[in-house]
A and B are shown apart, each in its own frame.
Chain A
């Protein structure tokens, strides 16, 4: 008994000593990136390719380029399961790691983004909510540490409407558009924009909320397919809600060609479970599809060398590509900051400056081997959205194909909406607007 106890104590001490001896993540000249991921839980099918894309891109930058200007990237994953409380806990646990603290945070959840805005702003850690979160955070005067590049939900609604209008012969007057949306803050984001567009364009707009998680939508689709019979259906869905909606739409005979989802209803995990029913379904995407961009040669080589970190099956999938682009935005912001502050690990505050002065031109995109994966963006103190665009893609039963070029939203009216909403937020929180002149 005594030997057993002693043995266990020795084993424990050895494990403890080895844990203490392990060098801390992000030590010395490393740039630390906290990764809030969801590889488990209800949204794991979406979270896994996203996390894989981040891992692969940062690994590639370290192995191929030796880091960004000689500063290697270090990262640690923290499992959120898409829960807001876990997201905040992960942020708090990781924000102090690395020699300069967290470089930025990519919450990959509108709920976690909302929960982190004030904390991250106080900690001077940039929040990059790429295609999600608060649309009005595009106003950098009110939200200095939040970046919504390349496009917001409100802008997505505008792009969708533009596409439907073009496909309907140039006018939506007298037409019917239905919105099927996740009954949450995320799903409600496009409503105000679509209501405004309905008045401007003269179409009839109907809303159909779907309760989480969205496994039952029969009633919704009976109303759409048998009663309303709209000309177009737009969807703001997430997780199982997407595939269920596609199946139920097919079950009431709604044509897939008239069904367009937002970029979170646009991954392989959303259409594959729906089988043949999903053929012809369309969605917006903020990144290119497939593996034709030159960067994939490097990624494939890295995997062939046995150094890739992702599941190979995820390479080139919609969400994997999105994470590549997300990581590319970050490394470009880091490079921009280093050009001003020196080639070393940057603080969150310095990276925030990098984001506000980020200019991702087509030449930079091509040089990075990411041609076709993203459209150019240029940010400023005022504009944290950067003028990005979205593409319409269509599922052919086995893969997504882009069926349009990148479509730019009409930002004049959108900018007014952003500023009005941000001003209201600033008034509620007692925030003085930054002078961006």
Chain B
């Protein structure tokens, strides 16, 4: 990323946050029923940013597969559910969670191989919409298959991540600022995951091959990069990302069918950040997370509440108006 872009973001983001804060402060001065204090605003903002990392974890899986095959993987949500169900199932069978993680990761790799052999390989050279339809099939299959094997009851996934509230800056702010320790751990895990993926794509041979496929399938094939192997690798990595997302979301809400629906939360993140950019998935997640929390807390009560879901999509649509490729997506110009 060019230094100019980074510097624009580094100065633009704090300015935008400050402007929003001053706007709410102004509204509070007009109406006593409008509650606003700077510490509370920052608390909401930080909670939103941490929530955004959780969205990014899901969005990353979509980006990986879209980069390599230009296919929107509808099944990513059910992969999250399937991975979490498998891991909990193995823990319930007596495995330590670290071992269960490794075995589940292996299961996700196996799943990637099966998907490549059974679903993707027969679809080579088919239009993207056909591939997309195939991922819908995978979604329903995994959804039912996971529940058939592991059952439909809610399962508890507890790997010892602390959940207690933490109060920071107690010396600066009266009562301190509340931060959820679970979300903090999730943010650290998200950051590590992104760093690992960045190294994997940037510095490994297979990572470079993967980027080549992402840029141009035919050109990559012409220089001997095996497309089928790359697909297996990409789906495997997406599966492991789904496992990490499943652990975090499952640890938060319990492992149950609804986990598959969190894919819907990744959509506005992808629209905003761009379908092909890993930094886009992270920044998009942060913007959506912070945006929807701030909107729900400070504006929700003015319009009846429960606005955070549609607000996220609205925010993404506004970005689409100005940058159809998303904030970090590749601008595609096709000759006609």
Which of A's residues lie within 8 Å of B, judged by CB? 39-42, 44-45, 48, 183, 207-211, 213, 215-216, 218-220, 222-223, 225-227, 239-240, 243-244, 247, 250-253, 269, 272-275, 277
Contacts and interface: CB of A to CB of B under 8 A. Distances in A.
Contacts of A269: 153-154
Contact of B178 (A39, A48, A244, A252): A252
Q: Is the interface of A mostly helix, strand, loop or mixed?
A: helix
Contacts of B43: 222, 226
A266 to B, nearest CB: 14
Interface stretch (B106-114, B234-242, B296-304): B296-304
Contacts of B165: 250-253
- Closest A-B pairs by Cβ, 6 of them: A273-B254, A44-B152, A219-B296, A209-B306, A240-B258, A45-B154
A213 B257 CA distance: 11
Contacts of A218: 47-48, 51, 180, 293
B309 interface: yes
Interface in B149-207: 152-156, 158, 163, 165, 178, 180, 182
A243 B254 contact: yes
B308 A219 contact: yes
A274 B256 CA distance: 13
B182 A251 contact: yes
A360 B258 CA distance: 39
Contact of A251 (B155, B163, B257, B262): B163
Contact of A45 (B48, B51, B256, B308): B256
A325 to B, nearest CB: 22
B305 A207 contact: yes
A220 B296 contact: yes
A386 B175 CA distance: 50
A213 B265 contact: no
A40 B254 contact: no
B253 A183 contact: no
Q: Is the interface of B mostly helix, strand, loop or mixed?
A: helix
Given A44-B152, A219-B44, A269-B153, A277 B163 contact: yes
B306 A211 contact: yes
A250 B256 contact: no
Contacts of B257: 40-42, 44
B289 to A, nearest CB: 9
A220 B35 CA distance: 14
Contacts of A210: 306
Contacts of A216: 51, 265, 292, 308-309
Contacts of B252: 244, 247
Contacts of B70: none
Nearest to B296: A219
Given A41-B257, A213-B258, A227-B35, A48 B152 contact: yes
A207 B304 CA distance: 9
A131 to B, nearest CB: 21
Contact of B152 (A40, A247, A273): A40
Interface in B248-299: 249, 252-258, 261-262, 265, 292-293, 296-297
Contacts of B23: none
B258 A215 contact: yes
B26 interface: no
B38 interface: no
A220 B305 CA distance: 9
A243 B296 CA distance: 20
Contact of B306 (A44, A183, A215, A240): A183
B147 interface: yes
B156 A273 contact: yes
Nearest to A268: B154
A55 to B, nearest CB: 16
B40 interface: yes
Interface in B303-332: 304-306, 308-309
B249 to A, nearest CB: 8
B262 A215 contact: yes
Contacts of B178: 222, 225-226, 252-253
Given A216-B308, A218-B47, A275-B158, A227 B40 contact: yes
Interface string B59-75: 00000000000000000
Contacts of B255: 273
A219 B297 contact: yes
Given A45-B256, A273-B256, 19 more contacts: A39-B152, A40-B147, A48-B152, A211-B306, A215-B249, A218-B48, A219-B292, A219-B297, A219-B300, A220-B296, A223-B297, A226-B178, A240-B253, A243-B154, A250-B163, A250-B165, A252-B178, A272-B154, A273-B253
Given A244-B253, A247-B253, A209 B305 contact: yes
